[in-house]
């Protein structure tokens, strides 16, 4: 059995350090037992799959680069696949990491999504499709995700308030781009702004006190 000299306790579990003080344990050589489920092996398998997938994506991209170089004039379409793979790799590393809270995941995944769409637009000839419909649809998608999250996580709805604000700010920027004449169709930017504004203001009005406290806490005011 394992023994922690510092805490003066005996630990039957298979472990090298004390669960209380993390001191290295002394052992008397007797058999140890697992008294709790082994979650580590599950995490290890997941990490292994992520690493394997990332490795194959990188190899695949290298193959694409070489193929692209020899089939067309220089390199063009493999940049698009490369960007897609980068986004997938980010998702695998960030969102499959259990330590990150799901709100952080939504937040960073949206942020990376915006960068991804803009870069993809540039790579496909900078025609501005990401600003015209890519980002407005993205904002609507984010609104839908937030709505679903708040329904499932009703007691803690205020924790999504900051991401809602983020969606609202992006939709305001898209609307500004329309008024500045960068994009020509009003329907999508207005829809994105309308939906984001309704969700945010509805939450703010219904749970005024909670929402106010949450924003105060977040912005230190």
Question: What is the contact surface with Zn ion in residues (CB under 5 A)?
Answer: 4, 6-7, 18, 20-21, 23
Angle, alpha carbons 5-14-11 (nearest 5°): 35
Calpha distance 217→220 (Å, rounded):
5
23 vs 27, beta carbon nearer Zn ion: 23
Question: Shortest approach of Zn ion to residue 23 CB, angstroms?
Answer: 5
Q: Which is nearer to Zn ion, 9 or 118 (CB)?
A: 9
Question: Given the complex with Zn ion, which of 4 and 57 has the nearer CB atom?
Answer: 4
The residue among 106, 107, 131, 110 whose CA lies nearest residue 188 is 131
Q: How far is the CB of 18 from Zn ion (least distance, A)?
A: 3
CA distance 195 to 144: 9
Least CB distance to Zn ion at residue 99 (A): 25
- Given the complex with Zn ion, which of 7 and 114 has the nearer CB atom? 7
Pick the closer one to Zn ion by CB: 15 or 153.
Answer: 15
CA distance 176 to 54: 38
Phi, psi of 114 (to 5 degrees): -65, -50
Shortest distance, CB of residue 20 to Zn ion, whole angstroms? 4
Best CA proximity match to 26, nearest among 62, 48, 50, 2: 2
CB-nearest residue to Zn ion: 18
Min dist. Cβ of residue 22 to Zn ion (A):
7
CB within 8 A of 193, min separation 6: which ones?
Answer: 168, 171, 172, 174, 175
Nearest distance, CB of residue 35 and Zn ion, angstroms: 17
Between 7 and 112, CB nearer to Zn ion: 7
The Cα–Cα gap between 176 and 179 comes to: 5
């Amino acid at each position: 059995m394992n023994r922690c000299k510092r805490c003066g306790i005996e630990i039957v579990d298979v472990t090298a350090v004390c669960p209380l003080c993390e001191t290295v344990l002394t052992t008397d050589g007797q058999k140890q037992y697992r008294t709790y489920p082994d979650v580590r092996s599950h995490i290890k398998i997941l990490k292994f799959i992520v690493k394997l997938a990332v490795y194959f994506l990188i190899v695949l991209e290298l193959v694409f680069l070489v193929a692209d170089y020899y089939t067309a004039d220089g390199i063009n379409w493999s940049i698009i696949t490369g960007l897609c793979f980068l986004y997938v790799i980010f998702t695998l590393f960030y969102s499959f990491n259990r330590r990150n809270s799901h709100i952080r995941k939504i937040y960073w995944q949206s942020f990376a999504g915006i960068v991804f769409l803009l870069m993809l637009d540039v790579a496909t000839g900078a025609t501005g499709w990401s600003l015209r419909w890519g980002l407005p649809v993205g904002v609507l998608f984010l609104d839908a995700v937030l709505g679903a999250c708040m329904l499932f996580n009703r007691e803690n709805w205020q924790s999504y308030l900051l991401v809602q604000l983020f969606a609202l700010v992006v939709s305001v920027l898209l609307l500004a781009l329309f008024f500045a004449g960068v994009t020509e169709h009003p329907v999508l930017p207005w829809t994105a702004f309308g939906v984001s504004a309704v969700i945010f203001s509805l939450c703010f009005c219904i749970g005024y006190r909670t929402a106010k406290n949450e924003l105060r806490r977040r912005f230190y005011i």
